[in-house]
Amino acid sequence: MKYVLGVDLGTSAVKIVLVNQAGEVVHEVSKDYPLKQIKAGFSEQNPNDWVEQTLAGLSELVASFEGNAEGIEGLSFSGQMHGLVLLDEDHEPLRDAILWNDTRTTEECRAIYETLGQETLLEITKNPALEGFTLPKILWVKKHEPELFAKVKTFLLPKDYVRLKLTGNLHMEFSDAAGTLLLDVTNKRWSEKLASVFELEESFFPPLVDSHQEVGLILAEVAAQTGLSAQTRVFAGGADNACGAIGAGVNEEGKTLVSIGTSGVVLSFESGSDKNFAGEVHYFNHSVPNSFYTMGVTLAAGYSLSWFKDTFAKEESFDLLLAGAKEVPVGSNGLLFTPYLVGERTPHADSAIRASFIGIDGSHERAHFVRAVIEGITFSLNESIEIFRSYGKKIDTITSIGGGAKSDLWLQIQADIFNAKVVKLSSEQGPGMGAAMIAAYGCGWFKTLKQCGDAFLQVDKEFEPSEENVKTYQELFKVYQSVYSGTKEMNEQLVAFRN
Which residues are at the interface with ligand ADP (CB under 6 A)? 10-13, 261-262, 302-303, 305-306, 318-319, 322, 402-404, 406-407, 410
Pick what 13 binds: ligand 5SP, ligand ADP, none; C-beta below 5 to 8 Å, kind-dependent. Answer: ligand ADP
- CB-wise, 190 or 337, nearer to ligand ADP? 337
Q: Choosing from 102, 176, 240, 416, which is the catalytic residue?
A: 240
- CB-wise, 348 or 450, nearer to ligand 5SP? 348
| 295 known ligand binder | no
Cβ at position 116, least distance to ligand 5SP in Å: 20
* Whether 361 is catalytic: no
Cβ at position 261, least distance to ligand 5SP in Å: 3
Contact between 14 and ligand 5SP by CB under 6 A: the answer reads: no
Contact with ligand 5SP (CB under 6 A): which of 178, 297, 353, 438?
A: 297
| 91 known ligand binder | no
Contact between 212 and ligand 5SP by CB under 6 A: the answer reads: no
Pick what 305 binds: ligand ADP, ligand 5SP, none; C-beta below 5 to 8 Å, kind-dependent. Answer: ligand ADP
Contact between 53 and ligand 5SP by CB under 6 A: the answer reads: no
Q: How far apart are CA 199 and CA 149, in angstroms?
A: 12
Contact between 100 and ligand 5SP by CB under 6 A: the answer reads: yes
Pick what 333 binds: ligand 5SP, ligand ADP, none; C-beta below 5 to 8 Å, kind-dependent. Answer: none
Q: Would you list which residues are annotated within the binding site for substrate?
A: 81-82
Active site residues: 240
> Which residues contact ligand 5SP by CB under 6 A?
10-11, 80-82, 100, 132, 179, 240-241, 261-263, 265, 282, 297
Q: Would you list which residues are annotated within the binding site?
A: 81-82
